[in-house]
Structure formats: structure tokens, C-alpha cells
């Protein structure tokens, strides 16, 4: 019932052209809208549901009509008559090549994509969040009785009063704080406990990435292993995540890499300073509001992106115009 009412509210606001009012406000303020997307696919996932291809094309039709879709490199250039917007993608899933690139080419627009280099190189099979999502999808379908145990803390995953989405978020936040090897060990132990084997999602290889780069896609780093940078304690390890990933992309694409997208949007002042030393010019975060911010601690530009999720076209367009992130009285939208 709640989802039905929420959908009805979004449709009403959309047909009342609330998005037009919000868009004009951003235009008057001279703000650049930055969007963060991940997968575009017909696949289904309870916790990381891809944006469906038809919805994605509807989104592109909207932004092409009302925005000037620009590359990250064009952020410092003078704006035209339309407000400006950047399309940014993370992770490197193959469905970007199969479902997104054809749309970008059809509408002649650029995009940014930030990749996990150990995945592309075949040195790593899975992004750790993919393991977590797989586990929780299993919990939704099978409803196991035993709770998850994480460093002595129990997380019930079944029962009439259990909100599995809240449990997922709480576990995710706990995992954010762990160092990479510890996090991987815990996830692997859970998979073994429930006797689960994951078939990795197909990722782009260097041939697909090169073709994307030849068609207006600017590539940045999403680190070597998709590790949580704020949890890295070892300076050499942080250097590898920032510098080696950058060097690998530059080697295979023969072009400079100036963009870092910290996994899960988690960043701090120290990472910003180290990113500047590594040669990055832009850091792409994920926040409630979209915009360009000059860093006070380094000669680097911090770009806050709006994370888009799988939802109705009306809700997605209103999210682009930042309705959901700015009107708190609607609650958790």
C-alpha cells in the first residue's frame, strides 16, 4: 500500500510539472547536475536492482531535452542556454557496454565511467558488495532461521518483526568499517555457511572499455579492488588503490586519468590529499545534493553526485531534480 501511495504521489507531482519548477531553480543558480548510475539491465535484485533499459532511455530523452549533457572535462567551460548535467557510472558492468553505450551513441552524448581495475584484469572475480547483495537476496527467498554474526554482534534475518532492508543497511555500515581482507574473509565465511556459490556478473574487458572510450566515454578509477578507502590503514595499500588503478587505465587507454570515484562514496580529507598527490583532479562523491565544490584542503574539485535507483520514470525524473533529497516531510522516499 505504501509503495502504491508513493507512486501515486510521484505521478501527481510529475504531471503538475514540479520537476520543471525545480529545474528552473537549479538553472538560475547556475548549478551543474551530476548523476551516479550503476547497472542498466533487465535483471532483478532486491537490494541492488538495476535501472531497466526502457526507463534508462526515458531518462536520457528527458535530460537531452532539458539539459546540456557535458563531459567532466567541460565543467569549467562557460554554460550555454540550458542547465548542464553529467552522466557518471561506476563499477564496469558489461551491461554498460550492451545497454548504455548504444543509447549514448544514439543521442550523441558523453559520459563518465569509473572502473575497478583488478576486476577488468581478471585478478578479482567479484566486487564485495555483490557478495553481500547475493547473500541478502538468498535471505529474502529462503528465510533462514539463524542470525548473521559479525564480530560478536547478532543480526536476525528472519521473523515477522524483522525489516530485512534495515538489517542489510546496518550490516553494510558495519562492513564499511572493516579492512579489505577482514571484510572479504567474513563475506566468504557467510557464503560457505549457507553453502552458496555466486556466478559473477559479466564485467567489461579492455576491448569493450576501449570501444566506449572511442565513443565519448571518459574513464576514471573506482580503485583496484572496490575497497572502502576510509577503512584502509596501510599507506602503501592506499597508494596501490589510488595510483596503480590510475596507471593501469592510462596504460590500456593511452590517455590521462584525472577522476577518482571512491567506492560507496566514502571519502575523507586524507584521501582527498592523497588523491591530489596521485594526480587526480576530480573526486566523485555521492550525496543528497548534486553540485561542484572546490576543496579547501587540496587543489582538487569535489563533485557530489545524485545516486539513481530503479524506480518509475516519474520518480526518477523528480529525483534528478532533487525532490526526494530535499523534501524531508515525505520521509524515506
Give 179-190 as a 3 state SS string.
CHHHHHHHHHHH
> In the chain, where do the E strands start and end?
32-37, 68-69, 84-91, 111-115, 148-150, 153-155, 217-221, 259-260, 282-286, 291-294, 301-307
CA distance 93 to 115: 9
Helices and strands, number each (H, E), in the chain: 15, 11
Q: What is the pTM of this model?
A: 0.94
Distance of CA 272 to the CA centre of its chain: 19
- Residue 238 half-sphere exposure, CB side, CA atoms within 13 Å? 19
Cell of 78: 562557460
27 CB-near residues (< 8 Å, 6+ apart): 82, 83
C-alpha distances in angstroms, 113 versus 71, 89, 92?
Answer: 11, 5, 7
If phi > 0 it is left, if psi is from -120 to 50 it is alpha, else beta; for residue 254 that is: left
Distance (Å, rounded) from C-alpha 279 to C-alpha 223?
A: 14
What pLDDT, on the 0 to 100 scale, is given for residue 53?
Answer: 98
Report all structural domains of the chain as residue ranges with CATH numbers, in order of start. 2-124+200-330 (3.20.20.370), 128-193 (no CATH)
Query: What is the grid cell recorded at 282?
Result: 576530480
Q: What averages of pLDDT result for each successive group of 10 residues across the chain (333 residues)? A: 73 89 88 96 96 98 97 89 95 98 98 97 94 97 91 90 94 96 96 94 97 98 97 94 97 97 95 95 90 82 94 94 72 49
Secondary-structure breakdown of the chain: helix, strand, coil percentages, each rounded to the nearest 5: 50, 15, 35
> Residues of 189-198 as b/e, b for ≥16 C-beta within 10 angstroms?
ebbeeeeeee
Tell me the C-alpha to C-alpha distance, in Å, between residue 174 and each of 16, 154, 238, 287: 41, 12, 20, 20
Owner of C-alpha cell 501527481: 12
Amino acid at each position: 500500500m505504501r509503495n502504491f501511495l508513493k507512486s501515486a504521489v510521484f505521478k501527481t507531482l510529475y504531471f503538475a510539472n514540479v520537476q520543471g519548477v525545480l529545474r528552473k531553480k537549479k538553472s538560475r543558480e547556475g548549478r551543474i547536475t551530476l548523476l551516479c548510475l550503476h547497472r542498466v539491465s533487465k535483471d532483478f535484485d532486491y537490494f541492488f536492482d538495476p535501472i531497466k533499459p526502457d526507463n534508462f532511455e526515458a531518462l536520457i530523452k528527458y535530460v537531452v531535452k532539458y539539459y546540456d549533457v557535458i563531459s567532466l572535462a567541460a565543467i569549467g567551460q562557460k554554460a550555454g542556454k540550458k542547465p548542464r548535467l553529467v552522466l557518471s557510472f561506476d563499477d564496469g558492468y558489461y551491461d554498460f557496454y550492451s545497454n548504455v553505450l548504444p543509447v549514448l551513441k544514439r543521442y550523441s552524448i558523453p559520459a563518465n565511467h569509473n572502473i575497478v581495475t583488478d576486476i577488468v584484469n581478471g585478478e578479482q572475480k567479484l566486487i564485495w558488495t555483490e557478495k553481500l547483495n547475493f547473500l541478502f537476496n538468498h535471505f529474502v527467498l529462503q528465510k533462514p532461521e539463524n542470525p548473521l554474526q559479525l564480530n560478536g554482534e547478532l543480526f536476525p534475518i528472519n521473523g515477522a518483526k524483522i525489516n530485512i532492508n534495515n538489517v542489510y543497511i546496518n550490516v553494510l555500515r558495519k562492513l564499511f568499517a572493516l579492512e579489505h581482507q577482514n571484510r572479504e574473509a567474513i563475506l566468504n565465511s557467510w557464503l560457505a555457511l549457507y553453502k552458496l556459490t555466486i556466478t559473477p556478473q559479466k564485467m567489461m574487458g579492455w576491448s569493450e572499455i576501449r570501444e566506449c572510450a572511442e565513443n565519448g566515454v571518459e574513464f576514471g578509477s573506482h580503485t583496484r579492488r572496490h575497497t572502502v578507502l576510509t577503512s584502509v590503514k596501510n599507506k602503501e595499500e592506499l597508494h596501490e588503490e589510488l595510483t596503480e588503478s590510475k596507471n593501469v587505465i592510462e596504460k590500456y587507454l593511452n590517455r590521462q586519468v584525472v577522476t577518482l570515484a571512491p567506492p560507496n562514496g566514502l571519502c575523507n580529507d586524507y584521501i582527498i590529499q592523497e588523491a591530489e598527490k596521485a594526480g587526480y583532479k576530480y573526486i566523485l562523491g555521492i550525496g543528497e545534493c548534486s553540485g561542484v565544490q572546490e576543496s579547501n584542503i587540496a587543489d582538487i574539485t569535489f563533485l557530489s553526485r545524485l545516486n539513481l535507483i530503479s524506480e518509475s520514470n516519474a520518480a526518477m525524473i523528480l529525483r534528478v531534480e532533487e525532490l526526494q533529497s530535499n523534501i524531508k516531510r515525505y520521509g524515506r522516499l
